[in-house]
Amino acid sequence: MRRDESLKGREQFTNQRIINEGWRWTESVRNIHSPVMNILVIGSGGREHALLWKLSQSPRVSRLYCAPGNAGTAKLATNHAVPATDLQGLMALAKSQLIDLTIVGPDDPLAAGIVDLFQENGLRVFGPLAAAARLEASKSFAKEFMVRHGIPTAASHTFSNSEAALAHCRAASYPLVVKADGLALGKGVVIAQTREEAETAVRQSMIEKVFGDAGSIVVIEEFLTGPECSIHALVDGTNYTLFPDAKDHKRALDGDQGLNTGGMGTISPSREVEGVMAERIRHEVMDPFVQGLAADGLPFNGMLFPGLMMTPKGPMVLEFNCRFGDPETQVLMRRLQSDLLDLIEATIDGRLSSVQPVWDERAAVCIVLASGGYPGPIEKGKVITGLKEVEVEEASADPDVVIFHAGTALKNGMVVTNGGRVLGVTALGETIEEARTKAYAAADKIAFEGKQLRRDIGA
C-alpha cells in the first residue's frame, strides 16, 4: 500500500509524538489518520503481546485482534479463542472480522502452510510460505541449504536409519550434538558428553519417538563453543534489514545451569556482537542467505532469526528460525522507534530497501517470570498479584518498565497463570545495568505461587 506524501508527513509528526510520549499515545492522535487497518496477530505468548503493543502505537492501525491471545493481549486487542494450529478456523476469523493483515507469531502454523492458505484465499499475511519455513521445520533441510551456499555451520551427518545413527555414535568423538530434525518445542537438541548419552538420545528420538514424527530423522553434529546470540533480520525476498542483536538465556537456572527452556530472559544489545562481528554476520551469514534463496528459487518474505554461536573461527549458525524470537521480540520492540507496520508491509511487498528502521540507543532487558516446575510439568490457575503497581497505565509505575504477558488468563476478573512462561518484565535503561535494575525492581513486586526467575539476566 503506497501512502501519499501528506499522510507521510503527518505520520512523522505522530511518530515523533509517540517516541516522545512513550506508549501513552491518545485515541485522538490515532483517529486523525486513515486509511487504517484491522490486524490479526496469531499466537498467545509474550512475543505476540510485544508485537501488539508496538502495533498499537501505529497511527495506521484501526482494530487489533489476537488468536488465541492472553490476559495482556486482551487489553490491546480482541482475543478470539481459535488455536494457532487451526488454520481453517483462523482463516474464517480473518474473513469474518475483515482483517487487512495477519501476522503469524509461532513456528507451527508457518510450517503447516498458513501463509500459503491465506494467500491462496486472497488474504494478506506476514510470514514465509511453507516451502521456506522448512528452514526452521527441518534441520536437515537447513543444513543442506547452508552447505550448498557456504553459510558457516557445524559439520554434520543426517540419519533416517537408527542403526546407522547408532554406529555413527560408536565411532564419534565427544561431546557431540544430537538434534531431532523437526519441530520439538525446543526440546529436540541433546548435547551428549558420552557415547551412552548420544545413543540414548538417538533411541528416544528415532525408536521411542518421544517427539513423534519430528524425531524420525536426526542430525548429529560437531560440538561448537563460544557465546551465543540471536540475530533478527526482515527478509523481503531479495533484501534484508538487520535488527540490533539480542541475547537469550535458554537454561532454566542461574549460571546457565538446568534444563533448556524457551528462554528465561533477553538483553539487547548483547555484548557478543560488536563492530567486526556484526560485519562478519552480514557478509558470512545474511548475504549468502539471500543469494542462496535466489539460487534455489526459494521465496522468503518474513523474519529470519538465526541462532548463532560466536566461535573462535567466526559466527556459525546453530539453527534458523523463520519467525520472531520469544523473548527476543520483547526487548527488540522496546527498542524499535519506527512504525512496525511499515516494516512488515515493506517486507511483504519487497520494499525493504526503502525503509530504514530507527532504534532507541538505550539498552533493554526482559526478565521472564515462569511457573514453578517449568520447563517440566506446571500447575496453572495461580492468582497473580502486584501487576497493578507496575503496569504502565499506572501513574506511579516506572515509565521505562512494560510487562508483557505470556501464559496468563483472566478468571473471575483476576489475572491467573496459564502456562510455563507467565510474564516478561521489560525495562529500558541507559545501560544494561540500569535496565536490569529497573526490570528486577518491577519483577520483585509481582507475586504468584511458585514464581520462578533467573537472577542473572544481563549480569
Give the x-and-dash track for 310-349 against ligand GLY (CB under 6 A): -----------x---xx-x---------------------
Instruction: In angstroms, give the least distance from the CB of 271 to ligand GLY.
Output: 18
Residue 306 interacting with ligand GLY (CB under 6 A):
no
328 binds, among ligand AMP, ligand GLY, none (CB under 5 to 8 A by kind): ligand GLY
Q: Which stretch binds ligand AMP (CB under 6 A): 12-20, 43-51, 160-168, 216-224?
A: 216-224
Instruction: Say if residues 126 and 102 touch (Cβ distance below 8 Å).
Output: yes
* Extended beta strands in 203-359, E state: 218-222, 228-230, 233-236, 240-242, 247-248, 251-253, 257-260, 265-268, 301-311, 314-321
Instruction: In angstroms, give the least distance from the CB of 248 to ligand AMP.
Output: 8
Q: Which residue shows C-alpha cell 518474513?
A: 302
Q: DSSP letter string over 58-93?
A: -TTEEEEEEEE--TTGGGTSEE----TT-HHHHHHH
**Cα–Cα separations (whole angstroms), residue 216 to 101, 179, 204, 325:** 36, 11, 10, 26
**Cα–Cα separations (whole angstroms), residue 420 to 250, 306, 379:** 14, 24, 9
Q: Which of 68, 69, 105, 263 binds ligand GLY (CB under 6 A)?
A: 263
- State the Cα–Cα distance between residues 306 and 232, nearest whole angstrom: 7
- State the Cα–Cα distance between residues 292 and 303, nearest whole angstrom: 16
* Of residues 59 and 106, the one with the C-beta less far from ligand GLY: 106
* Extended beta strands in 223-374, E state: 228-230, 233-236, 240-242, 247-248, 251-253, 257-260, 265-268, 301-311, 314-321, 363-370
Instruction: Say if residues 65 and 80 touch (Cβ distance below 8 Å).
Output: yes
Q: What is the largest CA-CA distance in the chain?
A: 69
Instruction: Say if residues 307 and 272 touch (Cβ distance below 8 Å).
Output: no
Question: Contacts with ligand AMP in 136-155 (CB under 6 A)?
Answer: 154
224 binds, among ligand GLY, ligand AMP, none (CB under 5 to 8 A by kind): ligand AMP
Question: Contacts with ligand AMP in 175-194 (CB under 6 A)?
Answer: 177, 179, 189, 191
Instruction: In angstroms, give the least distance from the CB of 225 to ligand AMP.
Output: 7
Q: Which stretch binds ligand AMP (CB under 6 A): 2-10, 78-86, 200-208, 215-223?
A: 215-223
| The three three-digit cell numbers of residue 272, written as one number | 557478543
CA 57 to the chain's CA centroid: 20
221 binds, among ligand GLY, ligand AMP, none (CB under 5 to 8 A by kind): ligand AMP
Instruction: In angstroms, give the least distance from the CB of 186 to ligand AMP.
Output: 6
Count of residues near ligand AMP by CB under 6 A: 14
Q: Which of 185, 223, 283, 373 binds ligand AMP (CB under 6 A)?
A: 223
* Of residues 36 and 184, the one with the C-beta less far from ligand GLY: 184
* Of residues 30 and 179, the one with the C-beta less far from ligand AMP: 179
Q: Which stretch binds ligand AMP (CB under 6 A): 217-225, 291-299, 403-411, 424-432?
A: 217-225
Instruction: Say if residues 340 and 41 touch (Cβ distance below 8 Å).
Output: no
Residue 188 interacting with ligand GLY (CB under 6 A):
no
Q: Which residue shows C-alpha cell 486523525?
A: 32
Give the residues lining the site for ligand AMP (CB under 6 A).
154, 177, 179, 189, 191, 221-224, 228, 250, 307, 318-319
Residues that bind ligand GLY (CB under 6 A): 248, 262-263, 321, 325-326, 328
